Structure 1
Amino acid sequence: MDAQLKEDRFQIHYYFNDDSHSMDALVRNRCEIEIISILMEIANILDVSLKVESEARLEGGLRDIWKFTNANAGILSVIVGVASIAIPLLPKSDSELERLQKEDLRLSIQERKLRIKTLKQQVSLDKVEPESIEKMAEIVNENYKVITQRSNLFKHLSEYSKITTIGINGLNSSGIPSSPESLIPRSAFKKFVLPSHKLPPQTFDDATIEIISPVLGQGRYKWKGIWQGQNINFAMGDKCFKQDVLNQKMSFQSGSVIRCILSVNSKLDHTGEIVITEYSVTTVLSFGVDKTRQGKIHRHQTELEKAQFNLFENV
């Protein structure tokens, strides 16, 4: 990579519906927070310590520029290049969070580590390939924090009617654009905004929960237990098991354990962190060493489904 072409500055260019060169300070500040958060998260993915400095604004409507320091020139250029691709990239679907959970399974942790390792090796040899930047942008665009912060950014922009378009690109140390601006018109702003921060439920088909505090009476009270080393409060959604408890068919003591199907609901907070909103047991498969009626039915259905799958697989 030519040293003169290396980018160490990131620019966002606000285009207005008039000839002014100013914008609401609060809106600008909110946008800046989200942009810097995205840049810092890209650095975090690359395991790089990054310092961001704000440079003087340029007119024409209004341009904000951030200078990066505290890392070698090659990695700074990578961060700018990745951000320039990732931020303008439209979500692939309205249900972006559901899509991401499915793609999370396809792009393994090992594959992500390999892509980052390859990119860093290219940086050390000063031979960064455009394809490696694009592959890194794919990783960034599957990051919940980046998706959320980008959504926040375009939500702020869509609520400020003065802005008609934004342009995004990188600059070199002399302030010269290293590539044309990626222009995003106002009509596309809302396409970047997540319609919901709710994540699709996750189901664990063979969860083991140690019961700390069962609910022995009527009411919509939460049970307390330990799952995967964590204390959780969960709703008991298995009506048959609840009725057996109310009829005193179940005797709980210290160390009592249920094996069950556990549903975990979660959402993203305003920074993109995953927050668990509810745990719910849908079916109790066994209590201690004894299988429940529901557990036997579930096992029978599972075996039938497997047999049916094997039958069609051999056709």
Structure 2
Amino acid sequence: MIKFDNKLELRYYFSDKSNYMDAMIKHRSEKEVLSLVRTLADMLDIKMTVYCESFAQQEGFREIWSVAGENSRLISVLLNLFMQVWARPSLLVGGQPAQDRSAADEEKMQREIALVRTNLRKKSPGITVTRELVELLSASPRVCKCKSNFYEAVRGYPKVTKFTLRELNENNRSRSGSLEVKCEQFDYYILRSDELPSVKDNKATIEIISPVLKDARYRWKGIYNKGGETIDFYMCDEDFKKDMFDEKIVFKSGMCIDCVLEIQRKMSELGEVVNISYTVETVIRTRFDKMEIVTPQGKRHLRKLEAEKKQLTLDLFG
């Protein structure tokens, strides 16, 4: 028989004294909890399995999941991280994101995760999860989507007044304090839209497969240097299009452009980031074989970047 040293308690509090709950809502919402626990375990390279456990039901609805793994201490770190991330709101009053997220934040989060993973592997004493890691994880699209799906499902069940999380030991006694989210706070977790802020690749390279010169409604096709994927994109550099139309720039197979590329993104139902639209704002240079030609608008763009770089240096040392 498996001995469970680590358990996760989920508890729903109701506006009446019943202890039953709509099964569809319960399973739809708890799928998100399990999904995020699994995601964090994979990030930290922790092997674990979650089991359901039977117990005497109390007022409200109480769910206990027993978590088995190779090391009780590692599981405890995992559950502690999960609880902090899960209880942290995704939105501020008014629906704005609690934290603006950038590519640098993603890189920082991966470094923090790698550090925790290394410490866990070395079995370093006193492993703690930093506040910064909790904030970075809480703002990641995958985590935000899981929480949004959960609280949106629970909000649709009016008799739920609050939801709590606790880590329990093998005797079902609390290892730490309870984290609770009241029903009036659910909106701070539910995303208003699946759309994400667009990102710009200022050093994009696209090999043009087929240009479209006459009708701006149609998209061009090319091979994007990031991953070598074939993309459909809008060409919004009117000067470049005019030069190609006037044959000042001649299209040839294998022709590449270095450009500023704006990428529109959204979240899938699973919380994965999906690119939905590409737009070339400025063509900096054209390249074919070993020949490179910087466009006039490209020269203006490069001068602007150089001026901004100098201004930043003056601000830092002035």
**TM class, shorter-chain normalised?**
0.7 to 0.9
| Closer/same/farther in 2, CA of residues 103 and 230 from structure 1, 3 Å limit | closer
1:29-48 → structure 2 map (5 Å cutoff): 29-48=27-46
| Closer/same/farther in 2, CA of residues 178 and 308 from structure 1, 3 Å limit | closer
1:176 matched to which residue of 2?
173
1:49 matched to which residue of 2?
47
Distance apart, 1:192 and its partner CA: 1.1
Distance in 1 between the 2:20 and 2:196 partners? 38
Q: What CA deviation, in whole Å up to 9, does each residue of 1:147-190 have, x standing for no partner?
A: 21011111111121110011111111121222232121111011
Distance in 1 between the 2:286 and 2:104 partners? 35
- Whether 2:308 is the aligned partner of 1:305: answer yes
Q: What SS does the corresponding residue of 2:129 show, helix, strand or coil?
A: helix
Q: Give the percent of matched residue pairs that are identical in Structure 1 and Structure 2.
A: 30
Contact 1:7–1:170 (CA<8 Å) still a contact in 2? no
2:154 matched to which residue of 1?
157
Distance apart, 1:204 and its partner CA: 1.4
Contact 1:7–1:77 (CA<8 Å) still a contact in 2? no
Distance in 1 between the 2:138 and 2:9 partners? 19
Distance in 1 between the 2:314 and 2:299 partners? 23
Distance apart, 1:262 and its partner CA: 0.8
* Equivalent AA in structure 2 for residue 216 of structure 1: L
Distance apart, 1:269 and its partner CA: 0.9
Distance in 2 between the 1:196 and 1:42 partners? 24
Larger mean CA deviation between 154-163 and 172-181 belongs to 172-181
Distance apart, 1:307 and its partner CA: 4.2
What is the aligned counterpart of 1:218 among 206, 215, 218? 215
* Equivalent AA in structure 1 for residue 217 of structure 2: R
Larger mean CA deviation between 169-178 and 92-101 belongs to 92-101
Contact 1:115–1:135 (CA<8 Å) still a contact in 2? no
Distance in 1 between the 2:312 and 2:137 partners? 37
Distance apart, 1:309 and its partner CA: 4.1
1:83-232 → structure 2 map (5 Å cutoff): 83-91=82-90, 93=92, 94-96=95-97, 99-101=100-102, 104=105, 107=108, 109-121=110-122, 124=123, 127-129=125-127, 131-132=128-129, 137-138=134-135, 140-228=137-225, 229-232=228-231
Distance in 2 between the 1:293 and 1:133 partners? 48
Q: What CA deviation, in whole Å up to 9, does each residue of 1:34-64 have, x standing for no partner?
A: 1111111111111123211112263221101
Contact 1:82–1:136 (CA<8 Å) still a contact in 2? no
Contact 2:163–2:180 (CA<8 Å) still a contact in 1? yes
TM-score (normalizing by structure 2):
0.87
Structure 2 residues not aligned, in runs of 5+: none
| Closer/same/farther in 2, CA of residues 76 and 308 from structure 1, 3 Å limit | closer
Distance in 2 between the 1:48 and 1:119 partners? 9
* Equivalent AA in structure 2 for residue 90 of structure 1: P
Q: What CA deviation, in whole Å up to 9, does each residue of 1:249-272 have, x standing for no partner?
A: 321112111111111111111111
Larger mean CA deviation between 148-157 and 291-300 belongs to 291-300
Distance apart, 1:71 and its partner CA: 2.7
| Closer/same/farther in 2, CA of residues 53 and 266 from structure 1, 3 Å limit | same
| Closer/same/farther in 2, CA of residues 32 and 279 from structure 1, 3 Å limit | same
1:275 matched to which residue of 2?
274
2:240 matched to which residue of 1?
241
Distance apart, 1:33 and its partner CA: 0.5
TM-score (normalizing by structure 1):
0.88
- Whether 2:234 is the aligned partner of 1:258: answer no
Distance in 1 between the 2:245 and 2:230 partners? 24
Contact 1:97–1:200 (CA<8 Å) still a contact in 2? no
Matched residue pairs, number? 307
Larger helix fraction of residues: 1
- Whether 2:67 is the aligned partner of 1:64: answer no
Distance apart, 1:143 and its partner CA: 3.7
Q: What SS does the corresponding residue of 1:77 show, helix, strand or coil?
A: helix
* Equivalent AA in structure 1 for residue 221 of structure 2: K
Distance in 1 between the 2:206 and 2:223 partners? 5
Distance apart, 1:217 and its partner CA: 2.7
Distance apart, 1:74 and its partner CA: 1.7
Aligned CA-pair RMSD: 2.5
Distance in 1 between the 2:22 and 2:109 partners? 43
